[in-house]
Amino acid sequence: MSYLFSSESVSEGHPDKVADQVSDALLDQFLAYDPEAHCAIETFDTTGQVVIMGEVRSSQYIDLQTVTRRTINRIGYTKAEYQFDGNSCGILTAIHEQSDDINQGVSRECEEDQGAGDQGMMFGYACNETDNYMPATLDLAHLIMRVLADIRKEGKEMTYLRPDSKSQVTIEYSDEGVPQRIDTIVVSTQHDDFVKPTDDTPEAQRKADEQMLATIRKDVINILMPRVKKQLSDKVLALFDGSEKYFVNPTGKFVIGGPHGDTGLTGRKIIVDTYGGRGAHGGGAFSGKDPSKVDRSAAYAARYIAKNMVAAGVSDEILVQLAYAIGVAQPVSVYVNTYGKSHVNMTDGEIAQKVSQLFDLRPKAIETTLNLKQPIYLETAAYGHMGRKNEIVKKVFTSHYHERKEMTVELFTWEKLDQVERIREAFAL
């Protein structure tokens, strides 16, 4: 019997994503002026207030407030009526030095022997449902959010949009795990109070709310979704059969939102950040952490392995787990699950052993292979860390304490398919 599976995404204006973006913007600022900086930056945001906490070891001083305000304004929180905006919010900082006890386990005389910044397990996942080897549910949920943000920033249509929004996509799968059709799409978007009641009665307010909801629903179906569909591959577009259900702002009204509606905290959207509930997650968040933290770098490495393995034809679906001990360079375990969809005459244990031989999974080697000491992390902090476009871009950093810096960086290096031939040769494919 077929089954349903759902994944959600959130916009860059979601309070947790605001926190993630501030943490990663600060991390990028440190790495731009000190590539050896070690950071673990947490951000908390609520009505009119941002608190920045964590540990940093760096030779450079960074203007935390300027970067934070710039990031919040870029997201779109620029109006006092939102009860949270980049120009007027209070900013408290509680950054202190990284623990010497942790640092001695990470730093080594021989850089290649750099220890893992913490213990834990990290997962990477890939499947062949989409062109970017991501689950179709999550890929579509992310795209809905990105296109909605584009519409908001263009300011030509749906001009009532505010920054906070969420999406959720449910797809029907066959018994064999193959996507069959889109069952349900949920879109909840914050909006201006753009229809005013005719008087102060509850009935007038209800009618005004109903008018707003009708307009938003119509625009989601007739403006947002056609633009989304134009960006879909034929494989995913074929999942729209006309029977899909839409739930748009199901509560009926969404004016109060963003950090004024809910507090935000770095690292609370780890499933949105990764695979939408598919595969597995080790529990470690990404944003605000430099690549010496294997929570981040090893998760990227695991995705890199899984994606290249599926692209090489080893299996239609792969989960890779890496586990580390703090201060130890080599992973304590490498695990592979092919879900019975392997195309090689090997057990999952034998595949895992081959992975260990093909990839150097010491933290320093991961940093080098994926070029992770670049200031490339703000771009990861909304709309997912995985399945994104690998590209080379120019970024400009300014500071009250340093010279203006223009850098060419490579984004999403863990999405490159540059190991496919090596893998095919190793597995005789």
Residue found under tokens 């008087």: 199
User: Is position 194 annotated in a ligand binding site?
Assistant: no
279-333 tens-digit pLDDT:
999 999 999 999 999 999 999 999 999 999 999 999 999 999 999 999 899 999 9
Spatial distance between the Cα atoms of 216 and 249, rounded to a whole number of angstroms: 8
Check whether 141 is labelled as a binding-site residue: no
Global model pTM greater than 0.75: yes
Amino acid symbol at 54: G
Q: Under a CB-based contact definition with an 8 Å cutoff, are residues 141 and 276 in contact?
A: yes
Question: What is the pLDDT at residue 97?
Answer: 80
CA 270-85-205 angle, 5° bins? 90
Q: What is the pLDDT of residue 138?
A: 98
Bridge partners, residue 386, by sequence: none
Residue 37: phi, psi to the nearest 5? -60, 140
Q: Any binding-site annotation on 254?
A: yes
165 is in an annotated binding site: yes
Three-state secondary structure along the chain? CCEEEEEEEECCCCHHHHHHHHHHHHHHHHHHHCCCCEEEEEEEEECCEEEEEEEEECCCCCCHHHHHHHHHHHHCCCCHHHCCCCCCCEEEEEEEECCHHHHHHHCCCCHHHCCECCCEEEEEEEECCCCCCCCHHHHHHHHHHHHHHHHHHHCCCCCCEEEEEEEEEEEEECCCCCEEEEEEEEEEEEECCCCCCCCCCHHHHHHHHHHHHHHHHHHHHHHHHHHHHHCCCHHHHCCCCCCCEEEECCCCCCCCCHHHHCCEECCCCHHHHCCCCCCCCCCCCCCCECCCCHHHHHHHHHHHHHHHHHHHCCECEEEEEEEECECCCCCCEEEEECCCCECCCCCHHHHHHHHHHHCCCCHHHHHHHHCCCCCCCHHHCCCCCCCCCCEEEEEEECCCCCCCEEEEEEECHHHCCCCHHHHHHHCCC
Question: Is 16 labelled as part of a ligand binding site?
Answer: yes
Question: Quick one: which of 347, 9, 269, 278 has its CA closest to 129?
Answer: 278
Q: Is 235 annotated as a binding residue?
A: no
Task: Tell me whether residue 166 is annotated as binding.
Answer: yes
289 annotated ligand binder: yes
- Return d(Cα 233, Cα 359) in angstroms, integer: 31
Cα–Cα distance measured from residue 187 to residue 118, given in angstroms and rounded to the nearest whole number: 37
Annotated ligand binding at 293? The verdict is: yes
Residue 253 annotated as binding site: yes
pLDDT in the model for residue 118: 80
**pLDDT score recorded for residue 72:** 98
Q: Which CATH class is domain 120-127+291-426?
A: alpha beta
Q: Do domains 3-8+136-256 and 120-127+291-426 have the same CATH topology?
A: yes
Residues making up the chain, counted from first to last = 429
* Positions of the chain with pLDDT lower than 70, given as ranges: 98-113
Q: pLDDT digits over 139-148, tens only?
A: 999 999 999 9
The response to whether 238 counts as a known ligand-binding position is no
Q: In the numeric block, which tokens belong to residue 421?
A: 């031939």
Q: Is residue 211 part of an annotated ligand binding site?
A: no
What's the confidence (pLDDT) of residue 98? 67
As a whole number of Å, the CA-based R_g of the chain is 23
Question: What is the architecture, at CATH level 2, of domain 3-8+136-256?
Answer: 2-Layer Sandwich (3.30)
Is 42 labelled as part of a ligand binding site? Answer: yes
Domain limits, the chain: 3-8+136-256, 120-127+291-426
